[in-house]
Amino acid sequence: MDNSAGQKKFATIKDYILSQVETAAWPEHSRIPSENELATQFGVSRMTARRALQELTEQGVLYRTQGVGSFVASPKSQSSLLEIRNIADEIQRRGHFHKAELVQLTSLPCPGVVATALGLSRNAPVFFSLIVHYENQQPLQLEARYVNPEQVPDYLAQDFVLQTPHEYLSAVAPLTDAEHIVEAVLPDELTRQHLKIPASEPCLRLTRRTFSRGGAVSFAYLTSAGSRYRLGGHLTIHPKT
């Protein structure tokens, strides 16, 4: 089998498994065919079938138990690390319902880390919003966002139940640059309370700083329960000609 034929068979196996999972023909935690069964079904080597299972395991579609087999993993909401997306749009694209719960919207003295990030003086006024984003009635993400009043003077007058901060900021201070830091953290008491998770639940925290033409606009901590959320993306490399 030449390499192109092998790649085609490999892609066919992956597409088949994904189709069975996405249509719920193979429900969550169900055991899927083994490497040998897939190799026989598609007329490929066991190595090709193993590669398809391994990649889907790395992508979080499957999980494997040594000596037992491969199983359908619990679905997690996925966000792209390569793009700045509106969480409400992400949820709705999955065919799910987004709801926002506004916990706090105020002006407060700027903490030191935030002052450095936004180019403000320490303890100068900074706008702050705390929002819980829900997917199908389950709390998905806690958004703690600091906003530069010099860039967005009307931030506190907005209704962030009807629109997300991302939507509003994109309209009034269009994004030109962004910085990301991704960390695995254990939740503090506030996070546990709003995401309804135990103290032992690992979380994924994305720290994001955004810029518009006028300078730094916002600095946000986006925290999600690790069992409910993942980051991913696709990057296409165009070779030089």
Contact 79, 233 (CB under 8 A): no
Query: What is the model's pLDDT at position 1?
Result: 45
The CA angle 182-183-187, to the nearest 5 degrees, is: 130
pLDDT of residue 27: 85
pLDDT reported for residue 2: 47
- Domain limits, the chain: 3-72, 77-232
| Class (C level, CATH) for 77-232 | alpha beta
The tens-digit pLDDT sequence of the chain (241 residues) is: 445 555 678 789 988 998 888 788 898 788 999 999 999 999 999 999 998 898 888 777 887 777 778 888 766 544 544 456 788 888 887 788 999 999 999 999 999 999 999 999 999 999 999 999 999 889 999 999 999 999 999 999 999 999 999 999 999 998 888 888 889 999 999 999 999 999 999 999 999 999 988 889 999 999 998 887 665 554 444 555 4
Is residue 147 exposed (0-12), middle (13-18) or buried (19+ Cβ within 10 Å)? buried
User: Counting Cβ atoms within 10 Å, is residue 66 exposed (0-12), middle (13-18) or buried (19+)?
Assistant: exposed
Beta partners for 62? Answer: 72
Spatial CA neighbour of 135 closest among 83, 192, 89, 191:
89
- Identify the pLDDT of residue 231: 59
Q: How many CA within 13 A on the CB side of residue 8?
A: 6
According to DSSP, the residues that pair with 178 across neighbouring strands are: 210
The domain at 3-72 falls in which architecture?
Orthogonal Bundle (1.10)
Other CB atoms within 10 Å distance of the CB of residue 224: 26
Query: What pLDDT score was predicted for residue 130?
Result: 98
If 0-12 CB within 10 Å is exposed, 13-18 middle and 19+ buried, where does residue 91 land? buried
Burial of 204 (C-beta count, 10 Å sphere; 0-12/13-18/19+)? buried
